[in-house]
Every structure is written in C-alpha cells, then in structure tokens.
C-alpha cells in the first residue's frame, strides 16, 4: 500500500491566491496535528492530509477561521494559517493516524531492512492510542475490518486485464471519503465525494503500479504490468514500452473519471485550489511517468509549480 | 437541461462565488432591458434577464445553492437511491430495452390478444400503471407468457420499482432461458439501478446467446466503463463498432466518450482555446491515447481553437 505523497498542489505561477490558500491550509494541518497528538504529531504531516482539509474547506459554506502566528519550523516571521479545531477535525485526524498505522503494519510485513525496523518502532509507539481510536472508529461506523483486509490484501490472483487490479487504494479512499462526508455533515453530496475517492484511488493505484515497476522487478514482487506484459528481458523500460498503449489509454480514461467527479462536487469556494490538488497533480504525474511531455512539442504550455 | 441555473450563467457546478458574480455581471451588461429599449427583441432580452436574475439569486446564496444542487442531483438520479459504491449516474441506455413487438399483440386472438394490444398501446403512451394493470389481467389467462412478464418488468422499471422489475425479468428468463432479450433487459435494469457489476453477468449471457449483436456488446462496454474497467470497455466497444459503426447505440457510446474527453479538457484547462495533440494546436492534453478523437489533423479542435 503506497498512497502518500501523490496529491501535491499544482497551480499556475501567477495564481498567488491559490498558492496562499494552499500554504495556509498546509500550516493549519500541521498545527492541527500538533494540537491533537503533540509536537511529534507534526512529523505525520503529508500532502494527503492537506488535500483532505482543502477539500473540506471548499465544500463548507464558510471558511475556517484564520490566525497569524510565528512558526518555529519556518523562521521568525508571522504566517497566516487556518484553524482546524472542532470535533469533526479530531475525528478526521484520528482516522488519519489509523490509516498511517495500517500502512506501518503493511510495511512491517512487506519491507525489509531499515524500513521494516522503523515501521515496527512506529507501530509499537502508537499502539496504545490506536486501540482507543479503533473503538471510536467502529462506533462512528467506519468499516475497520474491511480496511484492514484491504491493506493486507496481496494481489497474487490471476488477472486478465490491467484495470482489474486497480481496487486497493480505490476502496480504501472510498471508505475514507464516506467517513469524511458523514463526520462533516456533507450528506447531500456524499455519493459525489465517495465517487471522487474511488476515482482518485484508481489513479493512485495505476501511478504506483508504473512507478514501482522497476523495484518490483528487482525484488521479485507482484506487479500487474509484469504479470500481463511479461517478456524474457525483465527490463522495466521495455515492459513499459510494450504496455504503453494500454497504460496511456487507461491513464486518459481514469483522468476523465476524476475530472468528471471533481466537476460534480458542489464546491462552495476555492475551486481552483481543489482543481490544482486533486486534478492537475494526478494529470501531471501521469504525464511525467508516461513521458508524454517529452513526446510533445509544447507550443503554449502554461507554467505550474 | 434548459433551466439549469449553472448553464444559464455559463459556469460549471464547481464555480466559486467570484466566478458566479463575474458571469452574472457580464450577462447583465449584455441582456439588461435598458440597453434594448428600441430593439424589436427587447421582450426576449427581458425574459432572459429574468432567468439570469433567478439563477443568480439562487446561486449567490450558499444555503440556497446547496439545496438547489441537492434537488438537481436527485432529479438526475430518478426515484431510486444508487448504492454508494459507484458514480451516481443514470446511464442513458434504457431506451434500448427490448419490448414485445406488434406481432405479440396479434398472437392468441380473443381476449388475450385484445389485452396484449391494449397493454402495448398503454406502454407506448407511457401509461405504465395502466400497462401493469392490463398485464396482470393477461397473466390470469396466459400465466406462462414470457413476453408478458418482460413488458410488466419494463413498466415497473420505468416507474422506478426496480425490485419488482428484477423479479419479473427473472420469471421471463425462467420461462424462456435461451432468449437473449430477457437477459439483456435485466442487465439494463441493473445498470439503471446503478449496479453495473451485477449487470455484467446478464449482458455477457445475452452476448453469448446472440453473438456479434452490437447492442449487447455496447451494453457490456457501458457496464465495464461504469465499474472503471476501461480496457475491457474499449475491447467490447471496438468490437461493436467493427460490426456496425452506424448502430445508434454505438454512435451514442462513442459520442459519450468524446463528451468525457471534452469535460476533462475543459476541467483541467478552463481558459484554453485548443485541444492540443495535433500539429496545429500545441501540447498533448489527451495523454497521447485518443488518436481516433483528436489526433487526426484537421479533426482536432473540440474546444474551438
């Protein structure tokens, strides 16, 4: 399970408003972790948590409160940040910690060497808190058992098509999205949020599959691309060339699904922020890993950061 | 939809308050009645301005906008609640369901022939409740007529009573297990109910019983697309297109594919004028996979440009 680090914000260099909003959300998420889990909690910050807060803020009728204070990690100058502080935010952070715990469990059984040891230490450090959180999640209706099964699932079953294996992150993020919708009172657009979660998860699974191809080949791990387009050479570049048409078609269709589900969201504000985090980050990642930019003569490319 | 407030203002569903306000101001400058006092089309401009005002007064108020979004999303879904696993979209495919033809009405003669003709006439008038009443009378006389169960199920499907529709399609299949029509109709019923996974079994069965029927192949492609299995969908739709490229279901499916691509390009690049990916437009927006769609020189510029 690798689902962190994918949802970075991509905004036009000239779009200062989105850059500012993203920074305020980022700092707000970092403070929220501090407030909930103590200063060590800040180490858990990821782009995905920032993305979740950005989405929630965009779906709400009014913005989160704004404060300005200095941050020891960012120098002495004062910075604006959103204040994420209510019971729903606490529920979200608890779920976030639980997802990280599941990832650590997965790494503990899947990885080798130092990463395995680190995952093991992290797991035992938060074990106490996790027991309480798990009980609370079950009370709030989060499908804990299904989530655990998904994380420990190993796709060693025979597959006939590449897209048959795009379900792990999809279902997990679907659960996550449904929980957010329930806890923050977005009943009216729950199916749209869940649909976004599913489509985002499929994209992330495909990106993982392509990016991990080289290391999966090296360590003889399961990868659907190897399974379906296997040749004798065991060369990841050659495999990607063989699968190129299917991968590009799939990336294009998944990107369409994602754009349509994003467009269906009844966003109240900051739509450009959400477009940059959830839409363009995936679109640009596909372009990068499928080497599309290199094949095109870009005449009027817009610059994003 | 003609009276969709978003379309009236020319903004998408995720537009921010600022975008809505600027769209309103732009339209008001164009359609304000004071600007058309000596114009023969002043009446039309006034009507348009009323619509624009109504749309703006709803969308500028976050609470009213949320209610409006909820109302239109319910309207889109019809009278059933789709399960949360899949995108809440109703496939525009019901019109292809097979109904009994006029020969069925002429069968049997006497009382049953009369009832058959009446039921068909009521169904064609879209008087589904009357169709159900007549067929119930017919089934007393002809309890083993699969076409009667099929028409009854179609009437229930049209009224949104999917539970009864599934039950009656199943009876028709039990009475005539080698007839692909009833499998196909039940597959469409599952699709309309938002359960594409279940529909795949029925549509595959129909396709096996009537090999190379483009309608059944497109049904399968649609079901696979809804479950995110785009590569399977592509295989089936291309097979259907190779059999009959002018079949209405094939044409509709391909047009929807173009529409998906258009939505995506518009979503990620809202201010662009060209679609890209051809010698005259610039960089590739279709991830290099849609050559049938926009890479043909001269056939490219879907967004203008």
Residue-wise pLDDT for B56-91, tens only, equals: 888 887 767 766 776 665 444 333 333 333 333 444
Segment holding A80, helix H or strand E: strand A78-83
Q: What is the token pair recorded at B34?
A: 């004071």
B287 to A271: CB separation less than 8 angstroms, yes or no: no
Helix axes B110-124, B146-158, angle to 10 degrees: 30
The mean pLDDT value of chain B amounts to 76
> Which candidate in B258, B289, B302 is best for mutational testing of the A interface (most A CBs within 10 A)?
B289
Per DSSP, the residues of A98-126 read: HHHHHHHHHHHHH--THHHHHHHHHHHHH
**B96-133: b (≥16 Cβ within 10 Å) or e:** bbbebeeebbeebeeebeebbebbbebbeeeebebbbe
A297 to B283: CB separation less than 8 angstroms, yes or no: yes
pLDDT at A69: 81
Give CA–CA dist A208/A202, Å, rounded.
Answer: 10
**B256 to chain A, closest Cα gap in Å:** 12
Closest among B264, B191, B186 to B226, alpha carbons compared: B191
Closest among B79, B211, B91, B81 to B158, alpha carbons compared: B79
Give CA–CA dist B60/B58, Å, rounded.
Answer: 6
Chain B residues close to A198, C-beta within 8 Å: 85-87, 228
pLDDT at B264 over 80: no
Nearest chain B residue to A288 by CA distance is B287
Closest among A102, A101, A109 to A221, alpha carbons compared: A109
Q: Dump pLDDT digits (tens) for A253-273.
A: 888 888 888 888 888 888 888
Q: What ipTM was estimated for this complex?
A: 0.77
Residue from the list A195, A267, A275 with its beta carbon closest to the beta carbon of B88: A195
Please answer whether residues A163 and A250 qualify as being in contact, where contact means their C-beta atoms are separated by less than 8 angstroms: yes
A166 to B19: CB separation less than 8 angstroms, yes or no: no
Going residue by residue through chain A (305 aa), what tens digit of pLDDT does each one get?
445 777 888 887 778 888 889 989 999 999 899 988 888 888 888 899 999 999 999 998 877 888 888 877 777 778 888 888 888 899 999 999 998 888 888 878 777 778 788 888 888 888 888 888 988 888 888 888 888 888 776 656 677 888 888 877 888 888 889 999 988 888 888 888 988 998 999 999 899 889 888 888 888 878 888 888 877 667 888 888 888 888 888 888 888 888 888 888 888 888 888 988 888 888 888 878 887 655 444 443 445 55
**B253 to chain A, closest Cα gap in Å:** 14
Q: What is the token pair recorded at A263?
A: 């467009």
Give CA–CA dist B240/B249, Å, rounded.
Answer: 9
pTM: predicted TM-score of the whole model, two decimal places: 0.73
Please answer whether residues A304 and A280 qualify as being in contact, where contact means their C-beta atoms are separated by less than 8 angstroms: yes
- Choose the most confident range, by mean pLDDT, from A4-18, B242-256, B266-280, B287-301: B242-256
Closest among A180, A173, A167 to A137, alpha carbons compared: A180
Chain B residues close to A281, C-beta within 8 Å: none
- Reduced to 3 states (helix: H, G, I; strand: E, B; else coil), residue B271 is coil
Q: What is the token pair recorded at A167?
A: 């379900």
A195 to B12: CB separation less than 8 angstroms, yes or no: no
List C-alpha distances in Å: B63 to A59, B16, B60, B68. Answer: 12, 14, 9, 9
Q: How far is CA B253 from the centre of its chain?
A: 10
Give CA–CA dist A230/B230, Å, rounded.
Answer: 21
Give CA–CA dist B38/B40, Å, rounded.
Answer: 7
> Which candidate in A15, A251, A256, A270 is best for mutational testing of the B interface (most B CBs within 10 A)?
A256
**A188 to chain B, closest Cα gap in Å:** 6
Please answer whether residues B68 and B5 qualify as being in contact, where contact means their C-beta atoms are separated by less than 8 angstroms: yes
* Chains A, B: CB pairs < 8 Å: 152
Chain B residues close to A276, C-beta within 8 Å: none
Residue from the list B12, B276, B287 with its beta carbon closest to the beta carbon of A286: B287
Give CA–CA dist A133/A145, Å, rounded.
Answer: 14
A279 to B288: CB separation less than 8 angstroms, yes or no: no
A263 to B290: CB separation less than 8 angstroms, yes or no: no
Please answer whether residues A223 and A216 qualify as being in contact, where contact means their C-beta atoms are separated by less than 8 angstroms: yes
* Confidence grade of residue B152 (pLDDT, cut at 50, 70, 90): very high
B263 to A192: CB separation less than 8 angstroms, yes or no: no
Sign of CA dihedral B82, B87, B90, B96: negative
């Amino acid at each position: 399970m690798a689902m962190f680090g994918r949802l970075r914000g991509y905004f036009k260099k000239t779009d200062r408003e989105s850059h500012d909003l993203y920074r305020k959300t980022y700092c707000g998420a970092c403070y929220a972790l501090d407030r909930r889990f103590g200063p060590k909690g800040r180490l858990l910050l990821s782009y995905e948590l920032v993305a979740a807060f950005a989405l929630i803020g965009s779906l709400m009728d009014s913005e989160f409160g704004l404060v300005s204070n200095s941050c020891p990690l960012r120098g002495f100058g004062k910075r604006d940040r959103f204040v994420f502080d209510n019971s729903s935010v606490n529920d979200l952070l608890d779920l976030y910690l639980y997802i990280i715990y599941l990832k650590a469990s997965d790494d503990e059984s899947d990885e080798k060497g130092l990463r395995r040891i680190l995952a093991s230490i992290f797991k035992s450090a938060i074990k106490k808190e996790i027991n309480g959180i798990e009980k609370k999640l079950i009370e709030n209706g989060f499908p804990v058992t299904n989530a655990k099964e998904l994380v420990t699932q190993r796709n060693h079953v025979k597959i006939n098509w590449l897209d048959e294996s795009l379900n792990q992150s999809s279902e997990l993020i679907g659960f996550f999205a449904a929980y957010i919708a329930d806890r923050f009172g977005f009943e009216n657009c729950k199916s749209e949020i869940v649909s976004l979660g599913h489509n985002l998860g499929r994209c992330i699974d495909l990106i993982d599959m392509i990016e991990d191809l080289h290391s999966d080949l090296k360590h003889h791990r399961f990868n659907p691309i190897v399974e379906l387009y296997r040749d004798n050479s065991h060369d990841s570049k050659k495999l990607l060339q063989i699968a190129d048409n299917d991968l590009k078609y799939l990336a294009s269709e998944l990107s369409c699904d994602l754009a349509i589900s994003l467009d269906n969201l009844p966003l109240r504000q900051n739509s450009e922020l959400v477009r940059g985090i959830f839409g363009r980050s995936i679109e640009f990642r596909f372009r990068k890993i499928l080497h599309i930019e290199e094949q095109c003569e870009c005449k009027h490319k817009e610059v994003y950061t | 939809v003609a009276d969709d407030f978003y379309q009236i203002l020319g903004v998408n569903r995720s537009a921010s308050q600022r975008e809505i306000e600027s769209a309103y101001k732009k339209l008001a400058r164009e359609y304000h009645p004071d600007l058309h006092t000596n114009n023969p089309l002043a009446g039309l401009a006034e009507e348009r301005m009323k619509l624009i005002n109504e749309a703006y007064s709803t969308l500028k108020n976050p609470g009213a906008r949320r209610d409006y979004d909820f109302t239109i999303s319910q309207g889109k879904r019809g009278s059933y609640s789709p399960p949360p696993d899949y995108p809440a979209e109703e496939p525009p495919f019901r019109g292809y369901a097979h109904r009994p033809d006029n020969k069925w009405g002429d069968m049997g003669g006497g009382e049953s022939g009369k009832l058959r003709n009446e039921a068909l006439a009521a169904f064609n008038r879209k008087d589904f409740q009357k169709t159900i009443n007549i067929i119930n009378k017919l089934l007393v006389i002809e309890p083993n007529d699969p076409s009667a169960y099929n028409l009854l199920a179609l009437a229930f499907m049209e009224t949104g009573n999917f539970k009864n529709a599934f039950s009656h399609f199943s009876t028709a299949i039990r009475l005539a297990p080698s007839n692909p029509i009833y499998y196909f109709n039940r597959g469409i019923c599952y699709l309309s109910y938002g359960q594409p996974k279940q529909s795949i079994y029925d549509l595959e069965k129909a396709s096996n019983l009537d090999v190379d029927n483009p309608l059944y192949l497109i049904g399968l492609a649609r079901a696979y697309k809804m479950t995110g299995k785009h590569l399977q969908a592509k295989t089936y739709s291309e097979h259907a297109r190779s059999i009959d490229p002018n079949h209405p279901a094939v044409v509709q499916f391909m047009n929807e594919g173009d529409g998906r691509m258009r939505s995506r390009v518009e979503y990620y690049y809202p201010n662009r004028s060209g679609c890209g990916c051809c010698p005259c437009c610039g960089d590739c927006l279709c991830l290099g996979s849609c050559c049938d769609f926009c890479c043909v020189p001269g056939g490219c510029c879907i967004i203008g440009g």
